[in-house]
Structure 1
Amino acid sequence: MRKSIEKINFKKLNKWLNIINLIYVIIATISIIVLWIKAPSEIPIHYGFSGHVDEYGSKSNSLILVFVLIAIYVIFMFISKYPKSYNYIVPINDLNRERQYNISSTFMKILSLELMILISYMSIQSLIGAKSITNYFIVIIVASVGIYIYFSVKNR
Structure 2
Amino acid sequence: MGVIFFYLFDFLNLLIVLLLWVYTIRMYKKLPEKIPTHFDFEGKPDHFGKKGFAFFLPVLSVVFYITFIVITQNPENGNFPIQLTEANHEIQFFIMILMLKWLLFLVVLMFLNIQDYMLRYSLNSQAKAKVHILLFLPFIFVSIMSAIIFSYIYK
| TM superposition score category, shorter chain reference | 0.7 to 0.9
Q: State yes or no: 1:12 paired with 2:11.
A: no
Tell me the distance in 2 between the aligned counterparts of 1:90 and 1:14: 23
Decide whether aligned partners of structure 1 residues 150 and 12 sit closer, same or farther in structure 2, where only a CA change above 3 A counts: farther
Contact 2:16/2:112 (8 A) holds in 1? no
Give the equivalent residue in structure 1 for 2:136. 137
Tell me the distance in 1 between the aligned counterparts of 2:146 and 2:25: 34
CA distances 1:29-78 after superposition (whole Å, capped 9, x unpaired): 11121122222222211012454321122211111222111111111111
Gaps of 5+ in 2: none
Give the equivalent residue in structure 1 for 2:21. 29
Q: State yes or no: 1:67 paired with 2:66.
A: no
Contact 1:14/1:109 (8 A) holds in 2? yes
CA RMSD of aligned residues (A): 1.8
Gaps of 5+ in 1: 1-8
Give the equivalent residue in structure 2 for 1:155. 154
Q: Secondary structure at the match of 2:84?
A: coil
Give the equivalent residue in structure 1 for 2:40. 48
Moved over 6 A (4+): none
Tell me the distance in 2 between the aligned counterparts of 1:88 and 1:68: 26
CA distances 1:77-135 after superposition (whole Å, capped 9, x unpaired): 11111111111112111111111011101111111121111222212211111666422
Q: Secondary structure at the match of 2:80?
A: coil
TM-score scaled by length of structure 1: 0.85
Contact 1:53/1:132 (8 A) holds in 2? no
| Corresponding pairs, count | 148
Aligned-residue identity in percent: 22
Letter paired with 1:106: L
Q: Secondary structure at the match of 2:29?
A: helix
Contact 2:36/2:118 (8 A) holds in 1? yes
Contact 2:38/2:47 (8 A) holds in 1? yes
Give the equivalent residue in structure 2 for 1:3. none
Contact 2:75/2:96 (8 A) holds in 1? yes
Higher relative contact order (CA 8 A, sep 6+): 1
